[in-house]
Amino acid sequence: MNTITISDGESHNGAMITYTDHEIARMIAELKEWKERSANLGDSNINLNKDIRTLREQVRDFFSEGEWNDNEFSASKSDINELLESIGANRLTSQYGGSFTITGTFQVEAEDEDDAESKFSEGVNVDFYDGDITVDQVETNDIDEDY
């Protein structure tokens, strides 16, 4: 086994570091890998710069070709969404709402019909995980014993 000894001179009190030929070969291989990764990074930066330039051109073209009136720009939501989609951005969203009816049955242990209705009305819960929901009214119909 060959060794290489390196002296750092006077900066660290003349310390000596010894490496085996295998350690030097590993360091050279790691340096080559680092150099290749750096070269690939340079290619990535070139591609990134081209992508940014293309995006800028698409946005500039969109506004250049759009409708301008008294220094104000007008575009439809669908046109803007088309631009956003073409550059890989999320499309615009809108808030939608509506009314709903839920029909179902329930069973509850209760002393009488009024108790059953009260337990249901106070205990019913409606969850909506993708937005907001408001329950304005809870009605019970046809409460019967031994349902």
Hey, is 31 helix, strand or coil? helix
Sequence-separated contacts (24+) of 139-144 with Cβ below 8 Å: 140/116, 143/113, 143/116, 143/117
For residue 109, is pLDDT > 80?
yes
For residue 7, the model assigns a pLDDT of 63
For residue 32, the model assigns a pLDDT of 77
- The model's pLDDT over 44-90, given as tens digits with 9 standing for 90+, comes to 777 778 888 888 888 888 888 888 888 888 888 898 899 899 888 89
What is the spatial distance between Cα 116 and Cα 46, in angstroms, rounded to a whole number?
Answer: 71
Give the H/E segment covering residue 114.
helix 113-123
φ/ψ of 100, rounded to 5, equals -150, 160
For residue 141, is pLDDT > 60?
yes
What is the spatial distance between Cα 106 and Cα 112, in angstroms, rounded to a whole number?
Answer: 15
